[in-house]
Amino acid sequence: MQMIPHSRPTIDHEEVAAVTAVLESGQLDQGEQVLDFEQSLASLIGVGGAVAVSSGTAALHLSLLALEIGEGDEVVIPSFVCPALLNAIRYVRAVPVLADIDRETFNIDVRDLKRRVTRKTKAVIVPHMFGLPADIREIVAFGVPVIEDCAQALRSSYEGAPSGSFGALSVFSFYATKVICTGEGGMVAANNRQLLDRIRDLRDYDEKADDRLRYNYKLTDLQAALGLAQLRKLPALIGRRRALARQYDEFLRENLLPAPACPPDRDHIYYRYVIRTKQVAELLAAGGEAGIAYRRPVFKPLHHYLGITGYPQTEAAFIETVSLPIYPSLHDEEIKTILQHAQPFLMR
C-alpha cells in the first residue's frame, strides 16, 4: 500500500542542479549563496535585511537575544503552537505567558492577548498559523516588540502587505516540509539594522574580538542554494496549495461543512488545511489503516505541557481538529481518495 503522506517537499532537477553546482564549486559553508538567499528573502518581504541561520528555533532564540530579553522578562505566545517558541523563551531564561486563540482562525486572540500583556511583557511572538496571517496590525499597536513567526506563512499577506513586514523582527523556517525547504534552516528579517547586526554577530563564534557567548547557528551554501531554487518556484508552490485548498473547500461546501476561515483582509497560503471533526482519534487511526497520514495540526497545546488551565478555545481546537494532507506535489486523484475516506468522520 502506497502511503499518502501528510506533507512532502517539492524537489526536482532545478534543486538538484543548484546543489550540485555548489558541491562542484568547493564552497560548501556560509558564503555567497547564503548572502543571495538573505537578500532575496528580505526583498520578497519588503524589509531592509535578513540573516540566515540554522533553524527556525535558532531564529527565535537570536531574535529574543537581539531584543535583550532575559531572565524574568515575560514573552507572550499562543498555547496552540509547537514547542519551538516555548524552548526559545526558555533558552534566554525568560518567562512564557500563554494566550488563548481565536476559534475560527486558530491565531492568537487579540482580546485575550491584551489581558496577558503587563509591564513585565518584553515581547509577543505572533505565529501566523497554518498560512493565515494573524491580526498583526492590532497587535503591533499594543506598543510591545513583536516577533512575527512566519514559519508557516511565507508569501501570505495582511491588508496587502507581506506577513513578516509588520513586527520588530520576523522569523522563518525552512525545515524539510515547510513552505520552502533547505532541509534545516531559518531566517530573521527586519528593518532595524542594529537588531540584524546583533543577530549576525551572535550566529557565529569564530574570529571575534571578545569572548561573548555566541552560537554555531550558520546556514551553509548548500542549503542556501536549495532555498534559492525553492524561492524561485514560490509563486507556483503557493498557487498549487491554493488550488488544492479550493478542492477541499468545494467538497466541504457541498456537504454543508465549514471550510477554514479566511477574513477578506488577508491572503491564506494553506500551509495546513485544518478541518473540524467530532472523531479525531477515529479519523487518525482509520487514516493509518488506509494509508493516509492525517495529523493533529498541533501535537499538544503548550498549556498541557505546563500543566495549566484556562484556554477554552485552544482546548476546543485540540479536541476537534485534524490536518489533511496538502502540499504542491499532491495529486488531484489523491485528494479524491482523502475526501472519500474522511467524509464519514467529518463534523456536522
What is the C-alpha separation between 103 and 238, in angstroms, rounded? Answer: 25
Contact in structure between 172 and 150 (CB atoms under 8 Å): yes
132, 252, 281, 294, 325 from 285: Cα distances, Å: 28, 21, 6, 9, 15
Q: Is 178 a catalytic residue?
A: yes
| Per annotation, catalytic residue among 178, 233, 300, 336 | 178
Q: Rounded to 5 degrees, what angle do the CA atoms 103, 190, 301 make? A: 30
Please give the Cα distance from 347 to 251 (Å, whole number). Answer: 13
List phi, psi (to 5°) of 325.
-55, 135
Using alpha carbons, select from 335, 316, 333, 230 the residue that is nearest to residue 273.
335
Contacts of 209 (CB under 8 A, 6+ apart): none
> Catalytic residues, which ones?
178
